[in-house]
Structure 1
């Protein structure tokens, strides 16, 4: 019997591996350096380092940055867009917005497909789906022959009103596949049947350019795992907080564009539930960036629109995660006005922080933590040795001397700026949404999150910080906690008061039929399938909509309207019950339940921590250098309690417990740091 579950999360600096044994209920973790040129090498290195017998693995789940990195680097295969005549430049025109409204020189980056690779054919369907001009199949076939001569086999088909009637897109795809049998064709009506043409076009284009890259990576990894003895499906975490098999990844690769950042948020929700917190903020600080997500009333926030680059929207449901350039490798520098800045530039894995002694000579957050004594002489169980003298030299040369600061003062300033950046980001996802961060717990994880978590919480007035048992691989653990999930949608516009509930029910039934077929295609039995209806509404005359749960049966629409008013008030502090409400879109989440690991709580026996592994001086801001105990986390049993200052070391992370705090190990082996005693 296969008894082991494996989850792998590829980060910018390290690739993290979680190994959970169903028999013993024990989890092992390991970390290996990432290999940006080919992430699969790091994945297989992690399997080898973790001594994993793939023939004994029942589930292999993977969060990947392949799609994200491809969109950032734009290392795409030759691709083309086929669109309605007259609409070749929709991708160029966009929606007219800018990331920085006041910077006339800051242009939005170019479309994913160049203008010379965008082609038009004659066809036209109106807004209600009626054919005004039939697809010119002669033109379509001539274009297909042209693309074949050019060697293009990655194609997006985006016709203007295909969301209302996809017949022309479907026929165009058939012609392309007849002429170019090896072609990968993405149609906008299949990817995103939504009215607004630019978001729909861009999402379909992103799907098309990612298809060969992502499917190639997934298939190569699947083959490697199979050769090693793994018999199951490789499960890929997608942005909506579910997983997909390779069969669906080939069809919807764009769903993996936020695969990596979703895993940490899923783990945060699980840990918050274990600890009894309905409200929590996750601070997932890695080597390059920090991902921040909000768990409110026990649920993660979901957004319907997101982007890897500004101006290139991807319209798929995604866990709402705010990412900022604040990681262990974020570079400290002085701007042209003479002010100290931190990030978003990063030393990454290559050349890495100065203390890695691998060619980097610029100070990073990791270097500052080394200078202050918060980090010792190595990381990841000795995989990375840290040279304190190199960290001191970088901080002194780049920050301390130009600003006339002492070495410790400069290093503390670097950390303070990083903490302020993260605190501001938490405010954006909490206060800006109408939540008070003081009502939340802070879940600090990632390779560097536990180093900074208590300081960030103090700045925000958050009373408790929770550091998971394996903070550096917590995101990887999230891959073990997800179900197979698909999100489907259909346009349905009209006033709610005049809507035909029977036709809405018919539309939902059609979506459910398709969703059930997808789940069965992925091997999900009917008893493990769950379908969740939602509906998007807006006040009449508005452009943006708000999604709320939708029931079934008589009165379901009326109840959804009441819920809409309530949610609108919570989101925007305003409601207008007398205003007509429009139905905009129908949504369906199809969830295929997968077995989850059953974690076993430990017996809590209150006790002091015993003798520390070592003591060393650590610099704590206004407190100066303090003689600080350093504990080995594996030696801290459930119920252990102690006061700061203290440092807790482990394979995948280091936890800082500042002065005027108290810490305890709970039954789930989390470190809970309480800041009530802070001065």
Structure 2
């Protein structure tokens, strides 16, 4: 049977999962090779031992575009915009962070301090279309080309074209793009109407500019990855995961790299939705602790929550639909340090994979969370980290002793404190998407994945009074696993920008039905099903929320109200009596083929016995001779009482004192957590 491959390139490891039909065939981790990312992918493929000729699809999640933006290593970009809007990027949304900027006269916005586009590369042209579509000022084509000529002479290799009201009336942008591409074929060109056809001028401008900034780098990366895969015998189609859980072809990823910014973590959320369906646990909190960060996502009633923008830095946003993921700088590579007042910080700075934590033995000297796990016995000093790195316990000890001397404490006690701070930070990240939204975490199970997630999952759950932890069989490569469940889709966006009334609702549903009929036959997919989505808000709110709707419903307005109320209640815990304001509606044609994947079934056997024991510190409490099990030796239905350690090829799970874990038929670990 043809194979499918999911590849997630993270900040520390590149994870790869191979599916044979609906079963996992292989799963591996390999170090991410910064400076030559395709090499890390090829290393993982070689490690998996897959014959390229047997592969039918390769699905990739990558942070290439995201890292280019965050590190300001993107292209030389110029902006062409409507006269009078040159400084919109620096103005942002005209609000400041409360904590550190409200009354500071010296504070500057991130785009002012580290601009994506310098002011002299932001050029304006005479043109203006009103919101109702009336052309007030015709596009001055000669002026446009003259301004782009200056940008090219100044070294620009990518151009963003952003005009007022083009989300609904894109004619001027389309004409400008055609003229620029004809005169300057060497340039990459992004238009806001194509990249982000949504209202809100700043959001649309910023999204288009970020796209233009990342486009040349993504183009180079995609071309190189495709070429090197083909050289190695992998000729199957390469697909990229998008921020909202779909798949796009390389040419689409190159044209719209901004749609891939969060594609790696999104794979984990897709996997969480699969697990919610498979285990019959509709409410899950995805908890992904990797080498660089911890990502938290909520699946409620079987669906992941979504949002309409991804904020990369303060007021630096990608204003397109994205599965909601809250990230904090608390991963295995997070560095422990002291602040100006002598307090202990954990993250957000990370040691990454080069040099990595001190225990990697690659020259790192700063204490990290992974070093703490090793010193506390949570990780086995005799087992290679990620299957590739023999841990250097002495280096970890030296790193913690150096910081401990500054605090007047021992390396071991400092490692306990660092772990406690990290767990507190992670629990707070979960509260952000549950408690502070009106949801009770006690009604959710914690789905722990990432190489380090299962190490602390029961401690985080106990802090939040969550009754159950689920550790997937492929927890260490779960985001790559989730990529395999994604589907190709195409979408059409229809701007509305009006308060819902009976007349408007009927008109909108009619337009949705027409668009659905059109898209269903033109999407280029053999078999599709249609999804209809509404982006709206209660009158007086400022942020849209997505709701699924059925445009064949007999009472459109009542149906819109019912579905939007349900979506708002699911995400925020309450509803309002206010009218529903519709921003946009969207039609999505999704391939109908099922891509659900399961880990390999465990064979029936006698219950496995511990392979050994070691001393370990859990929740600050020392435990002697804690039994250590291997997942591969456990039997379906076997129960394990904590404290215990369970090891797999890509992760280590720590079961707390008083917790009870049960192994299911495919090797997932279901833990009943003792109440704190």
Whether the TM-score (by the shorter chain) exceeds 0.5 is yes
> Where do residues 510-659 of structure 1 align in structure 2 (5 Å cutoff)?
511-512=515-516, 515-516=519-520, 519-520=523-524, 524-525=525-526, 528-553=527-552, 554-568=554-568, 575-577=575-577, 579-599=578-598, 602=601, 608-610=607-609, 612-621=610-619, 623-659=621-657
1:415-472 CA distances to partner (integer Å, 9 max, x unpaired)?
1111010001101111112211111111111010111111111111111111111211
The answer on whether the counterparts of 1:446 and 1:653 sit within 8 Å (CA) in structure 2 is yes
Alignment-derived partner of residue 464 in structure 1 = 468
Provide the C-alpha distance between the structure 2 equivalents of 1:613 and 1:337, rounded to a whole number of angstroms.
46
The answer on whether the counterparts of 2:637 and 2:662 sit within 8 Å (CA) in structure 1 is yes
- Larger CA deviation: 436-445 vs 491-500: 491-500
Task: Return closer, same or farther for 1:457/1:513 CA change in 2, 3 Å cut-off.
Answer: same
Alignment-derived partner of residue 385 in structure 1 = 390
Shift in Å, 1:301: 0.3
The answer on whether the counterparts of 1:615 and 1:627 sit within 8 Å (CA) in structure 2 is yes
Alignment-derived partner of residue 184 in structure 1 = 188
Provide the C-alpha distance between the structure 2 equivalents of 1:229 and 1:517, rounded to a whole number of angstroms.
34
Task: Return closer, same or farther for 1:39/1:355 CA change in 2, 3 Å cut-off.
Answer: same
The answer on whether the counterparts of 1:381 and 1:650 sit within 8 Å (CA) in structure 2 is no
> Where do residues 312-391 of structure 1 align in structure 2 (5 Å cutoff)?
312-377=316-381, 378-380=383-385, 382-391=387-396
Alignment-derived partner of residue 9 in structure 1 = 8
Shift in Å, 1:128: 0.6
RMSD value, Cα: 2.2
Shift in Å, 1:571: 5.1
Shift in Å, 1:561: 2.2
Provide the C-alpha distance between the structure 1 equivalents of 2:317 and 2:429, rounded to a whole number of angstroms.
21
Shift in Å, 1:667: 1.6
| SS, match of residue 128 in structure 1 | coil
- TM-score normalised by structure 2 residue count: 0.94
Task: Return closer, same or farther for 1:512/1:218 CA change in 2, 3 Å cut-off.
Answer: farther
Which residue, out of 370, 382, 394, partners 2:399? 394
Provide the C-alpha distance between the structure 1 equivalents of 2:64 and 2:448, rounded to a whole number of angstroms.
25
The answer on whether the counterparts of 1:317 and 1:487 sit within 8 Å (CA) in structure 2 is no
> How many aligned positions are there?
668
Alignment-derived partner of residue 409 in structure 1 = 413
Shift in Å, 1:81: 0.7
Shift in Å, 1:381: 6.1
The answer on whether the counterparts of 2:441 and 2:466 sit within 8 Å (CA) in structure 1 is yes
1:49-83 CA distances to partner (integer Å, 9 max, x unpaired)?
21121111112111111111111111112211111
Provide the C-alpha distance between the structure 2 equivalents of 1:108 and 1:132, rounded to a whole number of angstroms.
33
The answer on whether the counterparts of 1:379 and 1:652 sit within 8 Å (CA) in structure 2 is no
| SS, match of residue 159 in structure 2 | strand
Provide the C-alpha distance between the structure 1 equivalents of 2:42 and 2:229, rounded to a whole number of angstroms.
8
Unaligned runs of 5+ in 2: none
- TM-score normalised by structure 1 residue count: 0.93
Provide the C-alpha distance between the structure 2 equivalents of 1:147 and 1:331, rounded to a whole number of angstroms.
41
Alignment-derived partner of residue 216 in structure 2 = 212
Task: Return closer, same or farther for 1:394/1:129 CA change in 2, 3 Å cut-off.
Answer: same
The answer on whether the counterparts of 1:285 and 1:449 sit within 8 Å (CA) in structure 2 is yes
The answer on whether the counterparts of 1:380 and 1:653 sit within 8 Å (CA) in structure 2 is no
| SS, match of residue 397 in structure 1 | helix
Provide the C-alpha distance between the structure 2 equivalents of 1:29 and 1:573, rounded to a whole number of angstroms.
38
Task: Return closer, same or farther for 1:669/1:569 CA change in 2, 3 Å cut-off.
Answer: closer
Shift in Å, 1:334: 2.1
1:273-304 CA distances to partner (integer Å, 9 max, x unpaired)?
22221111111000110011111111100111
Task: Return closer, same or farther for 1:600/1:358 CA change in 2, 3 Å cut-off.
Answer: closer
Provide the C-alpha distance between the structure 2 equivalents of 1:518 and 1:46, rounded to a whole number of angstroms.
37
Unaligned runs of 5+ in 1: none
Shift in Å, 1:151: 4.5
The answer on whether the counterparts of 2:510 and 2:551 sit within 8 Å (CA) in structure 1 is no
Shift in Å, 1:329: 0.9
Provide the C-alpha distance between the structure 2 equivalents of 1:483 and 1:472, rounded to a whole number of angstroms.
23
Provide the C-alpha distance between the structure 2 equivalents of 1:656 and 1:569, rounded to a whole number of angstroms.
35
Provide the C-alpha distance between the structure 1 equivalents of 2:270 and 2:510, rounded to a whole number of angstroms.
33
1:467-524 CA distances to partner (integer Å, 9 max, x unpaired)?
111211111101101011344422213332263455424532564366447731xxx2
Shift in Å, 1:113: 1.4
The answer on whether the counterparts of 1:484 and 1:594 sit within 8 Å (CA) in structure 2 is no
Is 1:45 aligned with 2:43? yes
Task: Return closer, same or farther for 1:581/1:447 CA change in 2, 3 Å cut-off.
Answer: closer
Shift in Å, 1:597: 5.0
Is 1:663 aligned with 2:661? yes
> Where do residues 489-500 of structure 1 align in structure 2 (5 Å cutoff)?
489-497=493-501, 499-500=503-504
